[in-house]
Amino acid sequence: MKELIKNRIAFAGLIFISIILLFAFFAPFIAPYDPSAIDANNILASPSLSHIFGTDTLGRDIFSRIVYGSRISLSIGFIAVGIAVMIGVVFGSIAGYYGGRLDSIMMRFVDIMLCFPAFFLILAVIAILEPSIFNIMIVIGATSWMGVARLVRAEILTLKERDYVAAAKVMGASDARIIARHLIPNAIAPVLVSATLGIGGAILVESALSFLGIGVQPPTPSWGNILMDGKSTLGVAWWLTVFPGIFILLTVLAYNLLGEGLRDILEPRLKE
């Protein structure tokens, strides 16, 4: 933590993430308006003191929608990555620990999954199931665990040769116990880095899906579907496009900076 504060850029990322988290938690207190309150007298109002980011085609306050949208966008980011990390850790540690044929079959499966353009796969599954927030989280998670699996496998491959693992084995620890208690905790640093970077990626995917109309469905605001309204009014109401985009950009940037910072701190051997 001390090192994180010293790493100014990563710390800036952390601060911004905290602000967005505050937005999400205290949305009703921060948002000046109800995010779905339609105001026929204020359609496409440009940014002013009463609506700092302007209003949309139904007269809804953009800032309030962004504040409430942060709840959706962040929780999709967190949960999708949580799912990806869980699948990846279990998959990677089994492949790495048992090795041999099982390992090569499992890693082949990872290669195959990596061949699908992830965005195609996500769209296809969402098209077949319904585009609900729940499905989006699961599908993004289920298509983005491969990197974590490879990382964990590589770590476990070297860790399992260590003496303390042999010692645990001699003492009669089961495979599951060795993996869960002795191997995974020591392999978690690179996973943490990749998960932090992954949250940014998941937020980008969610916003792209919602922008295309296949993600979070209106009237629930997400950063992506606020932008969807911006597309048709681009020439007349720039604020509909610019502000939600800046929030996505800064949030993803913050996670990327934090992730890179964590990499420098947790994996000093990779430092240039």
Partner 1 sequence: MLRYIAKRFLGLVPVFFGITLISFFVIHLAPGKPTDIQTSLNPKVSFEARMRLEKLYGLDKPLGVQYINWLKRFLVFDFGRSYVDDRNVSEKIVERLPITLLINISSMILILFIGIPLGVISAVKKGSIADRATTVFAFFGFSAPEFWLALLLMNLFAIQLGWLPISGIKSLDFEYLSLPMKILDVARHLILPVAIAAFGALAGISRYMRASMIGIIHEDYIRTARSKGLKESAVIYKHALRNALLPVITILGLSVPGLIGGSVIFESIFAIPGMGRLFYESVMARDYPTILGVLSIGAILTLLGNLLADIAYSYADPRIRVK
List, in sequence order, every residue forming a beta bridge with 84; answer none if it has no partner.
none
Return all residues near 209 (Cβ < 8 A) that are at least 6 apart. Answer: 122, 123, 126, 131, 136, 215, 216, 224
**Min separation Cβ 224 and partner 1, Å:** 8
15 binds partner 1 (CB under 8 A): no
135 binds partner 1 (CB under 8 A): no
Contact predicate 145/94, CB 8 Å: no
Report the alpha-carbon angle 152-99-186, nearest 5. Answer: 30
235 binds partner 1 (CB under 8 A): yes
**Min separation Cβ 147 and partner 1, Å:** 11
Among residues 109, 168, 189, 266, which is the contact residue for partner 1, using CB under 8 A? Answer: 109
- Within residues 203-222, the interface with partner 1 by CB under 8 A covers 204, 207-208, 211-214
Among residues 86, 102, 176, 249, which is the contact residue for partner 1, using CB under 8 A? Answer: 249
Q: How far apart (Å, rounded) are the C-alpha atoms in residues 178 and 62?
A: 51
User: Quick one: tokens of 83?
Assistant: 């799912």
Task: Assign residue 59 a region (left: φ > 0; alpha: ψ between -120 and 50; beta: otherwise).
Answer: left
Burial of residue 254, with CB atoms counted within 10 A of its CB: 0-12 exposed, 13-18 middle, 19 or more buried = buried
Which region among 17-25, 30-38, 103-111, 149-157 touches partner 1 (by CB under 8 A)?
Answer: 103-111
Orientation angle between helical segments 188-211 and 62-98, nearest 10 degrees: 140
**Min separation Cβ 59 and partner 1, Å:** 22
Among residues 100, 161, 171, 272, which is the contact residue for partner 1, using CB under 8 A? Answer: 272
**Min separation Cβ 120 and partner 1, Å:** 5
Contact residues for partner 1, defined by CB under 8 A: 108-109, 111-121, 123-129, 200, 204, 207-208, 211-214, 227, 230-231, 234-235, 238, 241-242, 245, 248-250, 252-253, 256-257, 272
